[in-house]
Amino acid sequence: MNQKRTQTTQVSKKSKIIAVVSALLISAILVFAYLKDRADLIDYSTYKTLLKNDMIDSAEIGERYVYIKSGQNSYKIPKEMVELSKLYENTPVKIKENYSYVYDLVLLIIVAMFFGYLIFITKKREKEQTLIKHQINIAQPEIDDFSSKIKPIISDLRFKDVAGIEDVKEELQEIIEFLKNPKKFIDFGVRMPRGVLLIGPPGVGKTMIAKAVAGEANVPFFYQSGSAFVQIYVGMGAKRVRELFAKAKQMAPSIVFIDEIDAVGKARGGIRNDEREATLNQLLTEMDGFEDSSGVIVIAATNKIDMLDEALLRPGRFDRRIFVSLPNAKERAEILKVYLKKIPHFVDIEKLSKMTVGFSGAALASLVNEAALHTLRKGKKIVELSDFEEVRDKVLFGKRKILAFSEKEKDIQATYQAAKALSAYWYEIDFDKVSITGGGFKDVDKEIVSKHELLAKIKLFLSGYAAMGLFFNEEFSNAAEDLHRAKQLAEDMVTRYGMGERLMGDLSDVSTILDSQMNEIKEFLSSQNRRIVKIKELLLENEFVTYEDIKRVVDEIL
């Protein structure tokens, strides 16, 4: 009996010992597993960014993974995805001590006998292997799932590579300085703009400008098109916005660039779209969530600022707006020099610049390429001006023909703009310069506007149309936009401001305002023939006139 009791006690002791040893073994394995492999698995694009940006402090090469140390963070990446020669160039690298996977397997089998630990580990490793295989299969040399699309790149572009945007470069210098040395601004108590909105027609180089900013500042650059956030599944767009900004904050200082932001940032109202509104709300929330010291700058581009939701444009979000206009003659010459640098040519660039009124930077690039192809088709070895003349009218921008004026069209447009410039000066409407392609007149920037000021703006919008009748005895389609704006102003005067002949006016009052202002501007312009001709000549020569140019013409021709 005592013997049995002793045996039972011994068995009990053995069981306890086995249990304790097993528990200790399990704890040791779990702790060992945690310490041994606590590095986060990263994809190829993130590793490439760390390498290019000199963010890898040290590396260890193991049997299956390369283990990377970056600041306080530890990462691992499958060995087959790393070019070891490039890693050795600028990074301290050592060989990780070999570890017996047979011993690992034995220990895991023991744990599995008690708690099924082997099954758990096997499933975990299978999941990792599936992810790795998926990445390797679809990521040679880059990974192309959505998470890889929200990935940083290191831009090689610099401002010296982007010609014809001197005014824009000056506006962006502060942003670059902030990204290079945010502490300098933060210590001084300065808050930099969280968002910069680039506004301009297609092809003027808005994306290239954003890349040049990232290149000058030497920070990661996250590019996304606004349409990438527009989803049919509820919540997916907002999720993608969160992922984009989470990665940008992780890699700060950095730049987030959203192209065609009007695709996701359209004004709310009208036909309801819950998914688009949820995405826009998430974008607003992310921008509001920036701390001044976050080091993330959002740059967005659009050619439809009038379609953007007002919430995006309020201070604290996109509170710096930069207008990128079509290049003038001098800027086109600089752009053409860049594109012709590597092409053998015998071309008068100044003359070619004058031939390309209305061309954007992208259109000029296409023109140079088409001229070079035309030269090769002709069997020549040097590009000449005649090659550009041959292909100029064939160059397409998207599905629309490039805006390129003939000599007659230049004369018509220069006269149209000359009349507008003179009218703006005469009726005291603020402007810096007026180009032959349009624009240059500033909107009234105050809360309270008088009837006199609104009537002056209407006369300005009608002046080009009136000049066409006086100088050519004909109407032309270039007046369409100005006529629309004149009508809109007259309607606002009548229906919103009570400035018609009656307090509650109607369309007849709108017509009365437009007719009276048309008569006034015709009467004024009919006495300004010599001045308009002189301003037109300046426009044809320089492609723009300044406020000082108009003042000088008015003073000289009495």
Evaluate whether residue 19 is within a structural domain: no
What CATH number is given to the structural domain containing 174?
3.40.50.300
Regarding whether 184 and 86 lie in a shared domain, the answer is: no
Q: Where does the pLDDT of residue 515 fall: very low under 50, low under 70, confident under 90, or very high at 90 and above?
A: very high
pLDDT the model gives residue 133: 57
Among candidate residues 297, 313, 203, 207, the one with its CA nearest the CA of residue 265: 313
Tell me, yes or no, whether 341 and 285 share the same domain. Answer: no
Q: How confident is the model at residue 231 (pLDDT cuts 50, 70, 90)?
A: low
**110 vs 303: which has the higher pLDDT:** 303
Task: Please give the pLDDT value at position 465.
Answer: 95
Is 116 found in the same domain as 67? yes
Q: Which of 284, 302, 323 is the last residue of a domain?
A: 323
Q: What is the pLDDT at residue 397?
A: 37
How far apart CA 249 and CA 21 sit, in angstroms, is 46
Residue 16 CA to residue 23 CA, distance in Å, equals 10
Q: How confident is the model at residue 483 (pLDDT cuts 50, 70, 90)?
A: very high
> At 142, is the pLDDT very low, low, confident or very high (cuts 50, 70, 90)?
very low
* 305-308-312-315 Cα dihedral, nearest 10 degrees: 40
State the pLDDT at residue 328: 81
Average confidence (pLDDT) over 136-152: 50
* Banded pLDDT at 443 (limits 50, 70, 90): low
What is the tens place of the pLDDT at every residue in 347-397? Answer: 888 888 887 777 888 888 888 888 888 889 888 888 888 888 777 766 643
Query: How far, in Å, are 78, 138, 539 from residue 83 at the CA level?
Result: 11, 18, 58
Q: What is the CATH number of the domain that holds 386?
A: 1.10.8.60
What is the Cα–Cα distance from 220 to 194, expressed in whole angstroms? 16
Whether residue 10 lies inside any domain: the answer is no
Q: Please check whether residues 166 and 220 belong to one and the same domain.
A: yes
Cβ neighbours for 204, distance < 8 A, ≥ 6 positions apart:
324, 325, 326, 327, 360, 361, 362
- Domain co-membership, 436 together with 532: yes
Residue 140, pLDDT > 60, answer no
User: Which of 74-78, 164-168, 417-421 is predicted with the least confidence, judged by mean pLDDT?
Assistant: 164-168
CATH number assigned to the domain comprising residue 68: 3.30.720.210
Do residues 395 and 413 both lie within one domain? no
Residue 27, pLDDT above cutoff 80: no
Q: Which of 84, 113, 143 is the last residue of a domain?
A: 143
What's the pLDDT at 143? 35
Q: Which residue has the higher pLDDT, 403 or 264?
A: 264
> Would 512 be classed as within a structural domain?
yes
Residue 12, domain member (yes or no): no
Residue 276 lies in a domain: yes
pLDDT for residue 523: 93
Same domain, 306 and 169: yes
If one counts the domains in the chain, the total is 4
* 518 against 217, higher pLDDT: 518
Q: How far apart are CA 200 and CA 159, in angstroms?
A: 18
- pLDDT, residue 272, reads 52
Give residue 46's pLDDT: 80
* pLDDT of the residue at 416: 94
CATH number at residue 535: 1.20.58.760
pLDDT score at 9 = 45
Whether the ω angle into residue 202 lies within 30 degrees of 0, i.e. cis, is: no
Q: Is residue 207 part of a domain?
A: yes
Q: Tell me what the mean pLDDT of segment 536-547 comes to.
A: 87
275 and 182 in one domain?
A: yes
Choice between 349 and 469, residue whose per-residue pLDDT is larger: 469
Q: Residue 81 belongs to what domain range?
A: 37-143
Residues 441 and 353 reside in one and the same domain: no
Same domain for 184 and 280, yes or no, is yes
DSSP 430: -
Segment among 43-52, 157-166, 189-198, 273-282 with least mean pLDDT: 273-282
**Per-residue model confidence (pLDDT) at position 74:** 82
Q: Which of 143-147, 271-275, 344-348, 442-446 has the lowest mean pLDDT?
A: 143-147
pLDDT higher than 90, residue 417: yes
Across the range 126-133, mean pLDDT stands at 65
490 and 355 part of one domain: no
- If pLDDT is split at 50, 70 and 90, which confidence band does 423 have? very high
Contact assessment for residue 415 and residue 525, using Cβ atoms and an 8 Å cutoff: no
Is 80 exceeded by the pLDDT of residue 547?
Answer: yes
For the segment 442-459, the average pLDDT, to the nearest whole number, is: 80
Residue 16 maps to a domain? no
pTM: 0.51
**Other Cβ atoms closer than 10 A to 329:** 17
CA angle 377, 345, 541 (to 5 degrees): 115
Which pLDDT band holds residue 144 (cuts at 50, 70, 90)? Answer: very low
Given a cut of 50, whether residue 324 has pLDDT beyond it is: yes
Q: Is residue 395 part of a domain?
A: yes
Write down the mean pLDDT value for the chain. Answer: 76
Boundary of a domain, candidates 401, 428, 458:
401
Mark whether 550 and 470 lie in a shared domain: yes
Q: Average pLDDT for residues 97-107, to the nearest whole number? A: 52
